[in-house]
Structure 1
C-alpha cells in the first residue's frame, strides 16, 4: 500500500512540474527580428524545411521553405519568393551550413 501511495504521489508530482521551455533560434537581420520556432527537414527532399517562424513578433504557421528554388509555400498552397534578409534565407543559410559540417 505504501508503494502504491508513493507511486501515485510521484506521478502527481511529475505531471505538476512545468515542462522546459523550448528556445527559439532568433537573429536580427536587416532591422528585423526573425525567430525559428519549430523546424523539420523533409525526409524526401533534403533542400526543403517545414518551419514555423516569427518575424517582428508576427507568428507564421508552418510553411515549406524550398532552399533550392528560394521559395516558401504557404499553407494555402501559394508560393512566395524569399525576401532579401528574410526568414527563408536565414533557414537555408544556417541549416545548410550545419549540414555541411
Structure 2
C-alpha cells in the first residue's frame, strides 16, 4: 500500500506593501523567494485582494502553523507588511487552509 500525499493551500487577504512600487512582486522575485524559503514545488499567487500559497506533493500531513509561518516569511521577504507577535508571523485574517489528499 502506498502512502498518501497531500496538497496544502493557504489563502489570506493580501498584506499591504512596505514599498512604494511593485518591484518586489515581479514573478522572478516571487520565484526566488519561494525557492529560498519553501522549494521549487510551491506556488504563490498574489491578486489585488488575496495572497495564496499552494504546496503540493507533501509526504506528511501538513502542520498549518508551520506553513503559516513559512508563508509569512515569504511575504515579508517580498516587502509585504506581515506583523510579528512574539516572533510569529500573523497573516491578515481571515486565513483559510485547505488540505487535500492526492493520489500516490
TM-score for both structures, normalised by structure 2: 0.27
| Greater length-normalized contact order (CA 8 Å, ≥ 6 residues apart) | 2
In our comparison, the structure showing a higher alpha carbon Rg is: 1
